[in-house]
Amino acid sequence: MIVDFHTHTLYSDGTQTPKELLRRLDERGVQRFAITDHDALDAYASLDLEALGDRVIIGVEINTTYRHNEVHILGYDFPVDSSVLRPVLERNNLERDQRVQAMAEKLSAVGYALTVDEIRAESLPGSPLGRPHVARALVRKGYVDSIEDAFRTLLRRDGPGYVPSTYMHPHDAVRLIRESGGIAVLAHPGRLEDHAIIEELAGVGLQGLEVFYPSHDANERDYFRKLAARYGLVMTGGSDFHDPVYNEDGVGMEIDLRDLEGFFALLN
């Protein structure tokens, strides 16, 4: 089955409009999907949700931090106008604005003159800002050759433009997604530095693990499959698509339907 439960649009740090993303999903033959913009739900207003029916699952990716880890929690199948989640996303976006301001100040102090307005020009008005927008602004001004170059030289953890995030803890994101009626899933666990977090989150209501992810090799998929079974978590997967250049494999992942049955069983 070809699915994609992890995609992004211009409404966070992707480069495609929702309709452009949908066209790519159609061309790939993706049967079920979710748009999981970082701390944003606005992309869904651009789609005909009634026409898409159960092919589309409402989703979001909430950024959190815990024990020096950036932990991303995916939420699925909650009301798109959730009164529980909206204030949370607004709070995270305020933190994003403050972080980007600090990045611009640090970069300018070492010779890379950059303003928040120049960074914001890389995003839709009012959409969440993040390091990818800073990277694009650096490319546009000619300071670096590519987004990858920006992350490798200036925005890496010990780089001159890096500012640590101070988002909520993942435990709170899991709780709030559950309170909204949604399904809480840990995104790309292979990027965690501390896998003990998985057991800890399973103990506070985490329901799923993104086992199938482009950078997970066969050994990692097997490892996370076993962790999911150990902690009673369903399995999901997605491309984490942001951009056709950055994501060379495009959208969609072919996953055995049997591996998705637990996730589908949780859907309303």
Domain range for residue 122? 99-153
Same domain, 6 and 113: no
Domain presence at residue 208:
yes
Q: Where are the beta strands (DSSP E) in the chain?
A: 2-4, 32-33, 59-66, 69-76, 183-186, 208-212, 234-237, 253-254
* Whether residue 210 sits in one domain with residue 188: yes
Give the span between the Cα atoms of 230 and 214, in whole angstroms: 23
Residue 131 and residue 32 share a domain: no
| pLDDT value at residue 199 | 96
By the 8 A CB rule, do 155 and 131 touch? yes
Q: Which of 4-13, 16-25, 88-97, 104-113 has the lowest mean pLDDT?
A: 88-97
Predicted TM-score (pTM) of this structure: 0.91
The verdict on 83 and 106 lying in the same domain is no
Please indicate, yes or no, if residue 108 is contained in any of the structural domains: yes
Q: Are 40 and 144 in contact (CB under 8 A)?
A: no
Is residue 93 domain-resident? no
Q: What is the mean pLDDT of residues 65-78?
A: 94
Mean pLDDT (the chain) is 95
* For residues 3-12, average pLDDT: 96
Domain count, the chain: 2
82 and 195 fall within a common domain: yes
Band (246; pLDDT cuts 50, 70, 90): confident
